[in-house]
Amino acid sequence: MSRLRISTRRTASQPLWPRLRDGDSCGRDRILAQAAARFGTPSYVYVTDVIAARLGALRTALGRWFSVSFAVKSNPNPALLGWMQGKVDYLDISSGGEFELAQTAGWQPDRISFTGPAKREPELRPVIAAGLGELVIESLREARLANAIAAELGMVQPVLIRIAPDHVPKGFGDHMAGRPSPFGIDIEDAEQILPQIAALPNLRIIGLHIYSGTQSLKPDAICENWRIFLEVFTHLSEALDLTPEKLIFGSGLGIPHHPGEVELDLDAIAQSIAPDLDAFRALPRFAGTRLVLELGRYLVGPAGYFLTRVVSVKQSRGTRIAICDGGMNANLAASGNFGMVIRRNYVLHRVEDGTAPPEEKHDITGPLCTSIDKLGSGVMLPRLEEGDLIALHAAGAYGPTASPVYFISHPLPSEIMVTDGQMQDVTRLRP
């Protein structure tokens, strides 16, 4: 079993690192090389300056309408969750275990919502007893179970009802609605099921929740999706005669992972959706409603780098192969086995060490005894040699906890957090 252990100890010899700025590749590589030298590889490096900058840009573009909730499943590192206190408004958890992690990080239960399609009595009871902010109801079964627990505890639990629309626009990497789905209550069934939930005496419906599509890099698709949300929220609130306290917009904001992809234009999203949001907020029913963007990967993904070191290099039938100490066991997503339909390389680079060998094509693999353990195919990089350090970009989300870290029992990846130039070991998983 894994054990939680966070070390923030700093020795007198540990240097203070300069803040990482956009385009500062030398500063970036200096941090990455020092992290690898100090803590080993494979490892993840999370740079909180990058998260802060992204959060600032998000609030500048969309803060006029939205509060921000961070989806813990994207990166549940307790040190990172602790850093987020006072920077994001809420956390969203997807299990009782994540609730414990959030509390370990210092979050108050009333700032936490709980989504997930298979909530069980042993995890619902303690979170309700602790004063969970909102339970996101995804089925009538779940509502009845939560109501019974709240009644036994002598409580009334605030709930949000998750709705699955019948349509998700093109342009999203994953669809969680618009087809058979375990998530939420289908919009076709909502008018029959929601009154039954509303009748449960120990639940109080305070709003609605939709997260129907994720990982979109197309502003038009994101805005079209949010317009669907607004229609659903308006229709169901009127049908229930609900004046919602909170409405959750599953943001769908994506990040570039692959060469050639372009960062989302938040200003374009804001400009396009502004008339719709302003008209929505002008309706008396929604004048006092708090609108919340729920997101995870968008905030933390670009702040992370996955570091792996070349153990061996071989030439095989005309292909130069760099075999590294970390592969899909430590970073499943980069291997293409975490929902990628057609495998594409993540953006990666050779961490500079003062040399500049000519570029050539490489296949980059991990240490596992399986042919699917591949981090790159035909990647143009300076000629790799044994001992070289490789950094995969956009690795701050869905890293260690989304990977089969115990497969073949190779060393588990370390986690390093860099805040205000200060580096600390925040590794959660230990042998």
Mean pLDDT of 12-23: 39
pLDDT (0 to 100) of residue 1: 28
Alpha-carbon span 228 to 247, nearest angstrom:
13
How many domains in the chain? 2
Mean pLDDT of 185-191: 94
Mean pLDDT of 164-175: 82
Alpha carbon of 62 to those of 43, 84, 167, 268: distances in Å?
Answer: 33, 19, 24, 11
Residue 253 is assigned to a structural domain of this protein: yes
The answer to whether the beta carbons of residues 255 and 303 sit under 8 Å apart is no
Same domain for 131 and 275?
A: yes
Alpha-carbon span 174 to 170, nearest angstrom:
10
Mean pLDDT of 241-261: 94
Same domain for 128 and 197?
A: yes
pLDDT (0 to 100) of residue 215: 87
Task: Please name which of 302, 223, 266 lies closest in space to residue 60, comparing C-alpha atoms.
Answer: 266
Same domain for 316 and 204?
A: no
pLDDT (0 to 100) of residue 172: 80
Question: pLDDT tens across 116-161, in order?
Answer: 999 999 999 999 999 999 999 999 999 999 999 999 999 999 999 9
Same domain for 281 and 160?
A: yes
Residue 323 is assigned to a structural domain of this protein: yes
CATH number at residue 405: 2.40.37.10
Residues recognised as catalytic: 369
**Residues counted in the chain:** 431
Question: pLDDT tens across 379-389, in order?
Answer: 999 999 999 99
Residue 168's pLDDT band (cuts 50, 70, 90): confident
pLDDT (0 to 100) of residue 354: 79
**Does residue 260 carry a pLDDT above 70?**
yes
Residue 70 is assigned to a structural domain of this protein: no
Q: If you search the block for the tokens 């939930």, which residue do you land on? A: 197
Alpha-carbon span 393 to 44, nearest angstrom:
10
Buried b (16+ CB within 10 A) or exposed e, 267-301: eebbebbeebbeebeeeeebeebbbbbbbbbbbbb
Same domain for 291 and 305?
A: no
Same domain for 381 and 287?
A: no
Structural domain of residue 404, as residue ranges? 25-47+301-425
pLDDT (0 to 100) of residue 19: 44
Residue 90 is assigned to a structural domain of this protein: no
Same domain for 176 and 264?
A: yes
**Does residue 296 carry a pLDDT above 70?**
yes
Residue 214's pLDDT band (cuts 50, 70, 90): confident
How far does the chain reach from its first CA to its final CA, in angstroms?
8
Predicted TM-score of the model (pTM): 0.91
pLDDT (0 to 100) of residue 93: 98
pLDDT (0 to 100) of residue 178: 60
Question: pLDDT tens across 74-96, in order?
Answer: 999 999 999 999 999 999 999 99
Residue 8's pLDDT band (cuts 50, 70, 90): very low
**Does residue 342 carry a pLDDT above 70?**
yes
Same domain for 269 and 327?
A: no
Question: pLDDT tens across 21-73, in order?
Answer: 445 667 889 999 999 999 999 999 999 999 999 999 999 999 999 999 999 99
Q: At what angle do helices 121-130 and 96-104 cross, to 10 degrees?
A: 30
pLDDT (0 to 100) of residue 24: 61
Mean pLDDT of 286-314: 97
pLDDT (0 to 100) of residue 4: 31
CATH number at residue 135: 3.20.20.10
Residue 254's pLDDT band (cuts 50, 70, 90): very high
Q: Lowest-pLDDT range, 11-20, 153-162, 319-328?
A: 11-20
Same domain for 136 and 264?
A: yes
pLDDT (0 to 100) of residue 167: 82
Mean pLDDT of 164-184: 80
Q: What does the H/E/C string look like for the chain?
A: CCCCCCCCCCCCCCCCCCCCCCCCHHHHHHHHHHHHHHHCCCEEEEEHHHHHHHHHHHHHHHCCCEEEEEEHHHCCCHHHHHHCECCECEEEECCHHHHHHHHHCCCCHHHEEECCCCCCHHHHHHHHHHCCCEEEECCHHHHHHHHHHHHHHCCCEEEEEEEECCCCCCCCCEECCCCCCCCCEEHHHHHHHHHHHHCCCCEEEEEEEECCEECECCHHHHHHHHHHHHHHHHHHHHHHCCCCCEEEEECCECCCCCCCCCCCCHHHHHHHHHHHHHHHHHCHHHCCCEEEEEECHHHHHHHEEEEEEEEEEEEECCEEEEEECCCCCCCCHHHCCCCCCCCCCCCEEECCCCCCCCEEEEEEECCCCCCCCEEEEEEEEECCCCCCEEEECCCCCCCHHHCCCCHHHCCCCEEEEEECCEEEECCCCCC
Same domain for 186 and 311?
A: no
Same domain for 286 and 338?
A: no
Alpha-carbon span 197 to 20, nearest angstrom:
49
Alpha-carbon span 192 to 165, nearest angstrom:
15
pLDDT (0 to 100) of residue 6: 30
Residue 12 is assigned to a structural domain of this protein: no
What is the overall mean pLDDT for the chain?
91
Residue 184 is assigned to a structural domain of this protein: yes
Same domain for 286 and 419?
A: no
Residue 181's pLDDT band (cuts 50, 70, 90): confident
**Does residue 7 carry a pLDDT above 50?**
no
